Chain A
Amino acid sequence: MIIKRLSQKFNVVFPTRRQAWRWLLPILLVFLFLSTLLWLPWQTQRMEANERQEQLIADTLWVEQTIRFQLGRNEENLRTIASEVTAGYLTDTRLRDRLVTMIRNNRELTRIVRFDADGKMIMSSDDSAISLNEYSTQSRMTAEQARESKTGLYSHPAAMPGTSGPILLDYHVPLLIGDQYLGSLVATYSLSSILNEMVPWWFAQDNEIALTDQDDIVIDKRAAGGPGRSVYTHRRALDLPGAALTLSTNSVKSEPKLLPSLLVASVIALSLGLLWSLWALWRDINRRLAAEGALRHQVSFRTAMENSLMTGLRARDLEGRITYVNPAFCEMVGIPAEELVGRSPPMAYWAPEAMDEYQQRFTQVLAGTVTPQFETIFQRSDGERFPVLIFESPLVDDSGRQTGWMGSILDISDRKQVEDLNRRQQEKLQASARLATMGEIASTLAHELNQPLAAISSYTTGALNMIDNRAALGDEFDLDMLKPALEKAGTQAQRAGQIIRSVHTFVKRREPSREPITVQALIDGVIPLVELQARQFFVATQVQIAPNLPSVLADSVMLEQVLLNLTRNAIEAMQNVAPERRILRIVASLENDAAAQPSVVIAVVDQGHGIPQEVAERLFSPFFSTKAEGMGMGLNICRTTVEFHGGTLVHANNPAGGTIFRFALPVLSETVAETATAEQKADA
């Protein structure tokens, strides 16, 4: 639960089994390291304690040796004196000198007294009178034992009876000549003097030194460095004949503490730091793993995407060197990526014949200006050319600095084919739509042909009637009378012929051929048919053509078709408006925009019902029609045709009500010059 919550809180991913194995060794090592780290100060402490203990033992031994040695030497001296006394060498004066000298040389000795066999003082080193009876009980008992054993013995330490003076240690040396007991020599040591004089100061400084009896009762002690801590202690028996004394040393030093605790603290701090850093590392690694996983996923996704992409991708640096191509691009041009990346222009996929275009574009790339979208051709490795559509956009890095150019390359050979097919179908459709239009106007045509025919018939019949009745008319009859009627008949016959001619060119299906043609001729060619339709709906036709309009390169039949379609729509749009508003205007003017190529704009203006917004949106869609019998191809074909001529077909609302359809045709450049020179000449 807690782990789960923690993991949620810190966003920690727990390792899987395989990762756990990988983690086991470092974790074990860390624990080993930590335990070593903890064990080490403890061990150090112990070693130090041992060392001190050993040092103490050694020092104690040394001190004991020193005491023993000193006491032994004194024993030796006393025995020498005793033997000299028994041999009778020493007079009283000399004995006294010897004793005084000895006392002076050995400050631990308090005094030396020579007693006779009855325990009366014969000679004393300090001239004070003292009898053996004044000595402590233990001392007197030792005197007896010494006398019996005939060897020097130490008494048990004790104070002088009846005084609380210093604890004294007496050494009894019996004076014997043979078995004759002459008395004894008693050397008295003060225990505190022994400790003070015999133990060196440096030892006394660090240790409490005590002398204890066999019952561990402290007889005397020296504690110059303070009381002992009972941490490092050693006991050593002094092994004096007659007295059981033990030397106890107790170091004033406590167990080693300060250094280890610092060490432990630092070890703990280090361990905690280590654990924390381990955890941080683990978390970091987890994050890295997660990021790496995400990255791997992204990379594989992107790679898969790039590989499955049909669009070729090509990245270039600012010098135009290729820095990246995707498999689709390689497949497109048939060159492996390693032969493309790093290459500078000219590229292997450039078609030799279009090299100028590429170079021009490449100059633009270097200048930092790139056409965002253009069509060109590339060459496959087998030499085959194919059309491509290229979208170029700047390649910008994280800091917003442009590092190169990214291009998407579409192989549009399929699309081109489809476009060709579409165009052919459009042409067919146009032809059939032309026929359909023809069918629609056929009845109108019949009616309209009837008008001139009927008129011709009436004029001629009337003229014939006149001639037949000339007798009846008599003088009134004049041949000149017939002239206007016959002239009018002729005019009507021509009108009929014009209608038939324009219909004939209208139905004829042919390949588009663009020839220089004046707008005047274009509009004149179509006006008879337009008027024919206009009359059917009682629409007045007005034509306004600006003077000196330059020629355009156009297929006149196709454009006539466009004009007919537009005018027919315009006429039909005015079916339900008041007759005085039924005015169809065809306006041609020159648009000389400085920025663009000059063009001739032809506008078809009606004052009909206008185009509602929802219809306007679908106006140019194929098979969309507002007419019950309409095919929905008219405007679509018109637009295609206008675009084929390099122009655009747009519509706008007529401010005076109704609609304006307008299309622009690029002016034939030579004719502009011609017109200009013509005008100059005219001015001159």
Chain B
Amino acid sequence: MLHIVDDEEVIRDSLTWLARSRAITTSTYDNGAAFLAALDTKKSFDPQGECVLLDVRMPDISGPALFDTLATRGLAQRLPVIFLTGHGDVPMAVDTLKRGAFDFFEKPFNDNKLMDRVQEALLASCDAGASAEIQSRLGNLSIREREVLDLILAGKMNKVIADELGISMRTVEVHRAHIFDKMNVKTAVELARLLK
């Protein structure tokens, strides 16, 4: 899903047409507030990945301001932002890229190259979605479980872990079972691949 946020009707329309030609579904918003409102009612993310084409100059909320709002909501990874600008102001481009924008395009742009980047962004969004899942699973682990997990990933045996942490073998096994359960894996190998 490609979110197009631009106050210019013509731009929204032409970009929708372009995205359609590359089989990318779109939704359009004529200002930042509408987009944020849509985000608030959003239940789930598109499994195909999502990204935002954001016009720098807009009447109510400017592109960078909207991007900052997304960043503070922790959506910068899940919703990669590609800026579009009519003014080639390089400092602003550098600034937004530093803050984590996905890319920056100056009008007139090479349309298919833009679409290529959009597709990359969609993929990145998917990856980010996955890693966000892992992160949330990791977040469920207790401190002791994180310590045990680190030692498991280091390839240590239960006995060694028990010794190093000064706990019993039995306790390590219980932690290990909890970790596998919480991380939704069956084996240590699977766990290691997930957290690679």
Contacts and interface: CB of A to CB of B under 8 A. Distances in A.
Contacts of A492: 10, 14
B11 interface: yes
B45 interface: no
B14 A455 contact: yes
Contact of A454 (B11, B23, B112): B11
B86 A446 contact: yes
Contacts of B60: 579
A608 interface: no
A492 B14 CA distance: 10
Interface residues of A, number: 27
Interface string A276-317: 000000000000000000000000000000000000000000
B13 A469 contact: no
A450 B59 CA distance: 18
B18 A450 contact: no
Interface in A446-500: 446-448, 450-459, 461-466, 469, 485, 488-489, 492
Contact of B86 (A450, A488, A538): A450
Contacts of A360: none
Contacts of A149: none
A680 interface: no
B108 A443 contact: no
Interface in B79-122: 86-87, 107-109, 111-112, 115
Interface in B27-74: 58-60
B173 interface: no
A488 B14 contact: yes
A451 B10 contact: yes
Given A451-B107, A453-B107, A454-B109, A485 B17 contact: yes
A452 B18 contact: no
B110 to A, nearest CB: 8
Contacts of B182: none
Contacts of A447: 86-87, 107
A462 B21 contact: yes
A492 B59 CA distance: 22
Interface residues of B, number: 25
Question: Chain A interface secondary structure, helix, strand, loop or mixed?
Answer: helix
Nearest to A485: B17
Given A446-B86, A462-B14, A454 B108 contact: yes
Interface hub of A450, A454, A492 (most chain B Cβ within 10 A): A454
B188 interface: no
Interface in A642-681: none
B145 interface: no
A465 B15 contact: no
B59 A579 contact: yes
B8 interface: yes
Interface in A161-198: none
A455 B107 CA distance: 10
B22 interface: yes
Contacts of B19: 462
A480 to B, nearest CB: 14
Nearest to A452: B10
Contact of A443 (B11, B59, B87): B87
Interface hub of B11, B13, B14 (most chain A Cβ within 10 A): B14
B10 A488 contact: yes
Contacts of B112: 461, 465
B195 to A, nearest CB: 38
Given A453-B107, A454-B108, A457-B109, A466 B11 contact: no
Nearest to B59: A538
B31 to A, nearest CB: 9
Contacts of A488: 10, 13-14, 17
Given A453-B108, A455-B11, A463 B21 contact: yes
A235 B86 CA distance: 157
B10 A461 contact: no
A458 B111 contact: yes
Contacts of B10: 451-452, 455, 488, 492
Contact of A458 (B7, B18, B87): B18
A485 B60 CA distance: 29
Given A451-B11, A488-B10, A579-B59, A461 B18 contact: yes
A463 B22 CA distance: 10
B64 to A, nearest CB: 17
A579 B21 CA distance: 35
B108 A450 contact: yes
B178 interface: no
B161 to A, nearest CB: 54
B17 A458 contact: yes
B20 interface: yes
Contacts of B13: 455, 488
Nearest to A464: B21
B7 A538 contact: yes
Contacts of B111: 457-458, 461-462
Contacts of B58: 538
A465 B22 contact: yes
Contacts of A455: 8, 10-11, 13-14
Interface hub of B13, B17, B20 (most chain A Cβ within 10 A): B17
A473 to B, nearest CB: 9
B17 A451 contact: no
Contacts of A453: 107-108
Nearest to B22: A465
Nearest to A495: B10
B22 A458 contact: no
A277 to B, nearest CB: 101
Given A465-B18, A492-B10, 10 more contacts: A447-B86, A450-B108, A457-B108, A457-B111, A458-B14, A461-B18, A461-B112, A462-B19, A485-B17, A579-B60
17 contacts: A443-B87, A447-B107, A450-B107, A451-B86, A451-B107, A454-B14, A457-B14, A457-B108, A458-B11, A458-B18, A459-B14, A461-B111, A462-B14, A462-B17, A463-B21, A465-B22, A538-B7
Interface of A: 443, 446-448, 450-459, 461-466, 469, 485, 488-489, 492, 538, 579
Top-10 shortest CB links A-B: A465-B21, A461-B111, A458-B14, A538-B59, A447-B86, A462-B21, A462-B18, A450-B107, A455-B14, A462-B17
